[in-house]
Amino acid sequence: MAGSQRRSEKLDLRLTPAAKQTLQRAAEAAQRSVSEFVLESALASAAETLADRRVFALDPERWQAFVAALDAPPQRHPRMQRLLQEPSVFEG
């Protein structure tokens, strides 16, 4: 998280007393305020969730197969070619 940016946005959260107590204990163990702990934890979880949409990892064998598929010349698919040559249902 960028420390130089001013925090101007607010996020309200409703939770049970037990959940709040758990967060307070965890924040204390991490030597953080509850707000810092919740924000850091939420951002870490968000980054992990979003990483699946931006980055994927392959073992060396699968990476080579992936690169080979990208580098291979395009294959002709007669049915696809015929479909693309037919008039669209949206055309008059």
Dist CA 38 CA 83 (whole Å): 53
Question: Between these two residues, 51 and 63, which has the higher pLDDT value?
Answer: 63
Residue range 46-55: average pLDDT?
84
Residue 64 to residues 35, 51, 70: CA-CA distances in angstroms? 45, 22, 10
Q: What confidence category does residue 60 fall into, taking pLDDT thresholds of 50, 70 and 90?
A: very high
| pTM strictly above 0.85 | no
Condensed to tens digits (0 to 9), the pLDDT of residues 18-41 reads: 999 999 999 999 999 999 999 999
Collapsed DSSP state (helix, strand, coil) of residue 2? coil
Q: Which residue has the tokens 């392959």?
A: 58
